[in-house]
Amino acid sequence: MYGNDFSAPGEAPGEAPRPRPATADEPVSFAAVIADDGRVEPRDEMPEGYRRTLVRQIAQHAHSEIIGMQPEGNWISRAPSLRRKAILMAKVQDEAGHGLYLYAAAETLGADRADLLDQLHSGRQKYSSIFNYPTLTWADVGAIGWLVDGAAIVNQVPLCRCSYGPYARAMVRVCKEESFHQRQGFEILHTLSHGTAEQKAMAQDAVDRYWWPSLMMFGPPDDDSPNSAQSMAWGIKRFSNDDLRQRFVDMTVPQAEALGLTLPDPEIRWNEERGHYDFGDIDFTELFEVIKGNGPCNAQRLAHRVKAHDDGAWVREAASAYAAKQSARSEGAA
């Protein structure tokens, strides 16, 4: 009914070929791989701009995965049943795993993980603004799974075909797990919206608060997204922000109907001519405020992350001591 299969984005027949403006600093082999829709691998020659763009994007993505553990982690101790708690723990753990795949992918580009974390902790690198909103009720866990993981899937499925091999391959597994996350969120909301009047109101309130921030997850409108064209030419990005946002709305409106919940936008209606749902204007001033650090939970999320990192110092020390001991041992044996 609301399946996010992996065939839709990017696989559509008749997709327009990407524009390929030739640039002077591109190694010939790189240009050929991109023109051929092939994969660039870590040891391949690549333009410095391509490498830098990928490091920035992958790091930002990795940071979002691990910061994203916090709003839901907030509810692990208060999940309404043991079953719900087990599912939520597994979900939050998946997000940690996504962060790890992605930091590893950034390392294949020569980035240093400790340095990336340092940039996150000092505010020099960003993470998705959606995680700066609070989780006020249990229904928020449902809304995050349904809408936030749902938007993540729409954003990330095309990345399975990203021109950089390690990033593309990491996304295949991440998307499968995100699909599970989206379904568990839907199921939480479905249960609430078919429960007592109070539970249904709680589900509706969560959807009311998370709907617009979810739409903002796709980034600024195309006219206002200066780096998109270059990313598309390099095969990093496959669809524009507005195209992905429209795809998400089209996927989500029928799901809201199935849930018996209303999306907080009176302008949503099917447009026969376009073959898409129309929707209202997004107030991007709010997004830019949250990006600037003025969201409801920015300071709290970052402080929590830094503390977790500091508290984990002994684990990192123990792990490197163990690794050093192991390699000394195997050298001794040799």
Cβ-contact 153, 175 below 8 angstroms: yes
Q: Minimum distance from CB of 177 to Fe ion (Å)? A: 6
> Using CB under 5 A as the criterion, what x/- string covers residues 101-140 for binding Fe ion?
----------------------------------------
With CB under 5 A as the rule, give the number of residues binding Fe ion: 6
Whole-number Å distance between alpha carbons of 98 and 295: 24
Rounded to a whole number of angstroms, the minimum distance from the CB of residue 184 to Fe ion is 9
Which stretches of the chain are assigned E, i.e. beta strand? Answer: 269-271, 276-278
Near Fe ion by CB under 5 A, which window of 146-154, 234-242, 314-322, 325-333? 146-154
- Residue 63 binding Fe ion, by CB under 5 A: no
- Contact between residue 248 and residue 180 where contact means Cβ atoms under 8 Å apart: no
Q: To the nearest whole angstrom, how small is the minimum distance from the Cβ of residue 130 to Fe ion? A: 11
Q: Is 45 helix (H, G, I), strand (E, B) or coil?
A: coil
Written as six digits, the tokens of 277 are: 């749902």
Site for Fe ion contains 72 (CB under 5 A): no
165 contact partners, CB below 8 Å, separation of at least 6:
39, 40, 41, 42
Cβ proximity to Fe ion: between 149 and 265 the closer is 149
**Stretch near Fe ion under the rule CB under 5 A, chosen from 179-187, 201-209, 239-247, 291-299:** 179-187
- Taking the complex as a whole, the smallest distance from the CB of residue 86 to Fe ion amounts, in Å, to 16
Candidates 34-42, 75-83, 170-178, 183-191; binding stretch for Fe ion (CB under 5 A): 170-178
Helix (H, G, I), strand (E, B) or coil at 77: helix
55: number of Cβ within 10 Å? 19
**Whose CA is closest to 154, among 130, 133, 182?**
182
The nearer residue to Fe ion, 46 or 153, going by C-beta atoms, is 153
CB nearer to Fe ion: pick between 108 and 179:
179
Least distance CB 223 / Fe ion (angstroms): 29
Q: How far is the CB of 185 from Fe ion (least distance, A)?
A: 9
Determine contact, residues 132/298, Cβ cutoff 8 Å.
yes
265 binds Fe ion (CB under 5 A): no
Residue 245 within binding range of Fe ion, rule CB under 5 A: no
Residue 142 C-beta: closest distance to Fe ion, Å: 13
Q: Of 39, 98, 209, 238, which lies in the binding site for Fe ion, with binding defined by CB under 5 A?
A: 98
Residue selected from 39, 178, 259, 279 as contacting Fe ion according to rule CB under 5 A: 178
Answer yes or no whether residue 190 interacts with Fe ion by CB under 5 A. no
Give the interface segment with Fe ion, choosing from 181-189, 207-215, 230-238, 245-253 (CB under 5 A): 181-189
Which residue type is seen at 81?
S
Tell me which stretch binds Fe ion (CB under 5 A): 45-53, 176-184, 245-253, 286-294.
Answer: 176-184
Is 305 a binding residue for Fe ion by CB under 5 A? The answer is no
Choose the binding region for Fe ion from 142-150, 204-212, 255-263, 285-293 (rule: CB under 5 A). 142-150
The site for Fe ion (CB under 5 A) is made up of 65, 95, 98, 149, 178, 181
